[in-house]
Structure 1
Amino acid sequence: MAQRPQSTSAQQQPFINLEEVEQLAKATLPKMAYGYFAAGAETEQTVGDNRSAFGQYRILPRILVDVSKVSTSCNMFGYSMAMPLLVAPMAMHGLAHSDKELGTARAAAAVNIPMCVSTMANMSLQEVAAQAQHPCMLFQLYVIRDRQIVEGWVRQAEAAGYKALMITVDAPRLGRREADERNRFRLPDHLHMANLQVLAEKRAAGQPGSTALLDARDSSHSSGLFELFAREVDDTLTWEAIPWLRSITKLPIYIKGVLSPADALLALQHGVDGIVVSNHGGRQLDYSPAALDMLPGVVAAVGGRLPVLMDGGIRRGTDVLKALALGASAVLLGRPVIYGLAVGGQPGVQQVLQTIQREFELAMALAGCKSVADIGPQLLLRCSADGLQPVAGRARL
């Protein structure tokens, strides 16, 4: 039987940066759980590329700037954020800690960081909103075949006070994550994916065993998640889904999983409110390009007409600064948040977020930036065979 994650009474382990918290989480979590969170698709080339892409840039500081008062804050979704960073949508926080999504949401609220709650959370979207009392949460939506259920989730998100929808568009099928196969991933008996319960109940009458399938507990397969995606996630989804979503909600619609500038233009044409440059943390198509590498082209394509967010490989405050200098309005932080949850529950997540905010504030000060508005391409040099090269200007919303 799979080991339960630690309770909130477990003593938080010390860490001073986000690389260290991953090593602590690896030592803390059961192998199956750590493998689920850490793994990428197939050879994991894209996972590594996401991180190494940040190493291609150097920061050119400006001197003799009064940085006695540096503000990392910004405004998005009608909310004053501590810094231009959101907690990324991630499935099944309960695999990391008994605090589950509630611990993550409360930690994010404590430090004024927005959080995006996953469709595949271990708590329902209503539970997280009601118990966390976070003033700025987004709901990540997988569009499944049953549109009635999708519409129900959207209505629930509106009623619960979520500020926007984030539609994942890069997962018509689940990428092959060999760690899950090797570890025979199986959701522990004490956990379930709460938002999917309505789907399980609806299917169970005519399809015995579907509840177990939706909880990823099918022990005859390496990962019941493959079967879940094959049966329920709509792989016929096209751009025509955007007008339909717009017709059922007044919430802002962001799409997550954009890499191509051509797709960014299509997103603009179809009236989305924002896009997230992302390769799903390297968990979908292996050898897809690093998100940071594609960010400048996407930003240039939309030309300041949409906010562009990005995720993938963020581990340092300097990474946040580099992404913003390349045109991102904000970044999303994923795995390190889960690792903080694993090693310390809610306080562990809070420490992760405070750590990267301190690093970001220091990077801004040392670069000569008093506010987020001061961050731009003039701060960056790109490494090349011909030496360090200036970065061309980009429009950032």
Structure 2
Amino acid sequence: MWGRKVQQAIYLEGLLGRRPKVPVYPEALERAARRRASPEAWAYIAGGAGLERTVAANLEAFRRYAFRPRMLRGAPPPSLEVELFGRRWAAPLFLAPIGVLELAHRKGDLAAARAAAQKGVPFMVSNQSSYPLEAIAEAMEGVRPGAIRFFQLYHSTDFRVVRSFLRRAEAAGYMGVVLTVDTVQLGWRPRDLDLGHLPFLKGQGLAQYLTDPAFLAALEEPLEGPAPKVRLSPALLRALPTLWRAGKGNLARALKAVRRFVATYSFPELSWEEVRRVREETPLPLILKGLLHPGDAERAVELGVDAVYVSNHGGRQVDGAVAALDALPGVVRAVGGRVPVFMDSGVRTGADVAKALALGAKAVGLGRPYVYGLLWGEEGVGAVLDYVLAELELTLALVGVGRLEELGPHLLGLD
């Protein structure tokens, strides 16, 4: 049992005078992570859009919903195992896709993926990961054969690259594709702007592209608009080692790749037609991420997606957008049980996960907290997962839930 096992281990260590290396209390974890991160890394990891009202709204939504516990149920702590897409998951929890994890730790995605595999929790590999999806799959298989993984896709303006990414995900044993539709261009992120820091320009977070045959084959193709003039500057000189590594010793090739990525990444014209095309292109389950409106969820189901994913990108895209948890019930009603509903944004604790499950999510994504843990490496991600899973199990038991199937809005006084 997660809860008692994790609690007892921590308390027994305490008897020996040892406290957890990775803080348990979420705000303490965040403070400690900030001390370990560079200013640029912290701005990218913790920052949001605009005045970060949406970041705050996500957290506030979880505060507003309150459990109505039932006592004397005579049931042991419930099993957290669930079955989705024909596979057993250790819990209705996954690590949400987050790019440029090398900002938190040099092993980045590999460390996070191994920690997820060790706990039996699915890992969603970001389109902007720091390691190729094949290497991440291999790392997970080394820990747990058949470890569940998804590939999160940003739709490029070059469909040849989209198709190539899909083929690679299929070949590398990914369970599904998470097509993110709320980031057709970057949101206004003042923390990053104040530092003039965009990691992609240094070749960071471009591992999928720099290892993709379709993307690399197009490097010599002309791009629209004048080529930017690159002048040596202290900032560029600091970036040269990263670019050198990204280009595997070929700096000119790395610079071309960065320019092509910048030119083809943003796709404001993305429409339902592209969703249809991706649906037709791959046999893998397709999850549509970034939906907040019931009408969009309804249309997604009609197009044949296999799950819808409620998210506002952790508040990183639109300042003042509705909190994801507040959007969840309407999406669940619109879907009507035809496909599973996933959710992320604002999740900090196991109790938060329980609230999202009670409101109809079938699985919940953990984002920033696991990246905070990643600043301690694989061990840190594993510790954060232990904390969240332990609290989830204990919370369910303490509010009177004997089985996950018993979860529902009634537990939040919303009969």
Whether TM exceeds 0.5 here: the answer is yes
2:46 is matched by which residue type in structure 1? A
Q: Distance in 2 between matches of 1:212 and 1:85?
A: 46
Matched, 1:205 2:213: no
Which secondary structure does the structure 1 equivalent of 2:377 belong to?
helix
- State the partner residue of 1:196: 209
Paired residue for 1:155? 167
What is the alpha-carbon distance in structure 1 between the residues aligned to residue 283 and residue 392 of structure 2? 33
CA deviation vs aligned residue, 1:232-278 (integer Å, no higher than 9, x gap): 33222111122211222110000000000111111111111101111
Match of 2:4 in 1: none
Q: 1:261 aligns with which of 284, 294, 297?
A: 294
Following superposition, the deviation at residue 192 of structure 1 comes to 5.0
The reply to whether residue 58 of structure 1 matches residue 73 of structure 2 is no
Q: Is the 8 A contact 1:166 1:254 kept in 2?
A: yes
What secondary structure does 2:272 align onto?
coil
Distance (whole Å) between structure 2 residues aligned to residue 346 and residue 104 of structure 1? 6
Gap change, CA 1:243 and 1:312, over 3 Å in 2:
same
Structure 1 residue 100: deviation in Å? 1.1
Name the amino acid aligned to 1:196: Y
Q: What residue number does 1:388 align with?
A: none
Identify if the C-alpha distance between structure 1 residues 101 and 317 changes in structure 2 by more than 3 Å, giving closer, same or farther: same
| Aligned equivalents of 1:243, 1:189: Cα separation in 2 | 33
Counterpart in 2 of 1:353?
Answer: 385
Matched, 1:144 2:148: no
Aligned-pair distance for 1:373? 1.0
Q: 1:282 to 1:230 in 2, by over 3 A?
A: farther
Distance 1:200 1:95, change over 3 A: farther
Deviation sequence 1:61-99 (CA, Å, 0-9, x none): 111112334212211233322211110000011110012
CA distance in 2, matches of 1:200, 1:95: 24
Q: For residue 292 of structure 2, what is the amino acid of its counterpart?
A: L
Aligned partners of 2:260, 2:60: CA distance in 1, in Å?
33
Q: Does 2:348 match 1:315?
A: yes
Q: Is the 8 A contact 1:121 1:195 kept in 2?
A: yes
Within 5 Å, give how 1:101-250 maps onto structure 2. Answer: 101-133=109-141, 135-187=147-199, 191-197=204-210, 198=212, 201-206=216-221, 228=261, 231-250=264-283
Instruction: Report the secondary structure of 2:66's partner residue.
Output: strand
Structural RMSD (CA):
2.7
Matches within 5 A, 1:62-81: 62-81=70-89
CA distance in 2, matches of 1:177, 1:281: 12
C-alpha separation between the residues in 2 aligned to 1:81 and 1:121? 23
| 1:15 and 2:38 matched | no
Contact 1:186 1:218 in 2 (8 A): no
The one-letter amino acid paired with 1:158 is: E
Partner of 1:83: 91
The offset of 1:20, in angstroms, is 2.1
Partner of 2:247: none
Q: What code does the residue aligned with 1:50 have?
A: N
Per residue, is there more helix in 1 or in 2? Answer: 2
> Matches of residues 2-41 of structure 1 in structure 2 within 5 Å?
13-41=21-49
Secondary structure in 2 aligned to 1:41? Answer: coil
Q: Aligned residue for 1:46? A: 54
1:296–1:326 contact (8 Å) kept in structure 2: yes
Distance change (3 Å), C-alpha of 1:212 and 1:238: farther
Determine whether 1:279 maps to 2:279: no
1:306 Cα shift?
A: 1.3
Equivalent in the alignment of 1:380:
412
- Greater shift in the superposed pair: 27-36 or 316-325: 316-325
Bigger Rg over Cα? 2
Give the distance between the partners of 1:62 and 1:53, measured in 2 at CA: 22
Question: CA offset at residue 228 of structure 1?
Answer: 4.8
How many Å separate the matches in 1 of 2:304 and 2:235?
Answer: 40
Q: Structure 1's 75 and 60: CA in aligned 2 closer, same or farther, altered over 3 A?
A: same
State the alpha-carbon separation in 2 of the partners of residues 238 and 341 from structure 1. 35
1:218–1:156 CA distance, 2 compared to 1 (3 A): farther
| Structure 2 CA distance for partners of 1:226 and 1:288, relative to 1, 3 Å | farther
SS of 1:116's equivalent in the other structure is strand
| In 2, Cα distance between equivalents of 1:212 and 1:58 | 56
**Aligned equivalents of 1:366, 1:238: Cα separation in 2:** 45
> Alpha carbons of 1:155 and 1:231: their partners in 2 closer, same or farther (altered >3 Å)?
closer
TM-score by length of 2: 0.83
1:251 has 2:284 as partner: yes
Q: After superposition, where does 1:298-309 map in structure 2 within 5 Å? A: 298-309=331-342
1:212: Cα distance to partner? 12
State the one-letter code of the partner of 2:57.
D
**Unpaired runs of at least 5, structure 2:** 1-19, 238-254
| Alignment partners' CA distance in 2, 1:206 and 1:374 | 57
Amino acid at match of 2:402: K
Task: Determine the C-alpha separation between the residues in 1 that align with 2:408 and 2:72.
Answer: 18
Q: 1:327 to 1:210 in 2, by over 3 A?
A: farther
